Amino acid sequence: MNRSIAWTAAAALAALLPAAARADRRYYGETYSAATAAPGGLDVEGWTTLSQAPRAGGTSYWRHQLELETGLTDRWDLAVYNDWRRDFGGTTRYEALRAESRFRLSQPGEWFVDPVLYLEVKKEFIEDRPLAVEEKLILARDLGRWNLSLNLVAEQEFIPGGDREYEWGYAGGASWELHPALRVGAEAFGGWTEVRSSGLSTWVKQHWAGPAVSLAWSRFWLVVAAGRGLTAESDRLRLRAVAAVQL
């Protein structure tokens, strides 16, 4: 909680600075637009997510993430995440270490859509799983003040015993620029996750939809988003705030 309060306070103070749009600014809570970090800089991002337990049963929790991101070229960036999780009624535990890279296939507006390739490798510690690898195809298009973005997701999670579980997902959003410092929109996201037990495989369906608001001031930006669960297996509500500063 203290981390999320600190990031919110930093974003509020940044409102006193002149407004300016950021090239790598996020528009949505879950959906990536076709952006990469500026080369040579360092972006520091703090993520806070509240997930309420699904109707089918489960645990409500907070997840806090700290991301350090830099652009290697004008098309290629690299980021490292540290994740912490706090279940309701529990203690804060270090959950995962993740490395992420994005590569832009074209310059903005050069093609009919702006495509970006995304690769992430994750090591979980709470459940002590070996590794998970996630790939995304990020597609986006700016039409005047409109932004349309679509992410197609595949994930392979390695589990003890040499087996694998698979996940297929999506995220899509549309947003409108009211002002260079303010953008409002909505997104839908979710997927199908394979769960293996006693040699049997079942698929869990999780889908959400909700609004997103993006604010930017000088070297700072902030996204606040919410997703309402649409299936019994989905978290009933997912709230997320992401705040960032470029150093």
In order, the DSSP letters of 46-79 are: EEEEEEPPBTTS---EEEEEEEEEEESSSSEEEE
pLDDT at residue 9 in the model: 46
Tell me the torsion sign for CA atoms 138, 67, 123, 2: negative
Q: Which helix (H) or strand (E) holds 120?
A: strand 114-124
| Helix residue spans in the chain (DSSP H) | 2-14
Provide the domain limits for residue 10.
2-246
Contact 204, 196 (CB under 8 A): no
Contact 207, 192 (CB under 8 A): no
d(CA 101, CA 133): 12
| Helix residue spans in 109-236 (DSSP H) | none
Q: How many domains is the chain built from? A: 1
Pair of tokens at residue 55: 């109707």
pLDDT at residue 53 in the model: 96
Pair of tokens at residue 190: 């979710």
pLDDT in tens, the chain (247 residues): 455 544 444 444 444 344 344 557 999 999 999 999 999 889 999 999 999 999 888 999 999 999 999 999 999 999 999 999 999 999 999 999 999 999 999 999 999 999 999 999 999 998 777 899 999 999 999 999 999 999 999 999 987 777 788 999 999 999 999 999 999 999 999 999 988 776 678 899 999 999 999 999 999 999 999 999 999 999 999 999 999 999 8
Phi/psi region, residue 106 (left: phi>0; alpha: psi -120 to 50; beta: rest), is beta
Q: Which one-letter amino acid corresponds to residue 121?
A: V
Q: What is the CATH number of the domain that holds 160?
A: 2.40.160.40
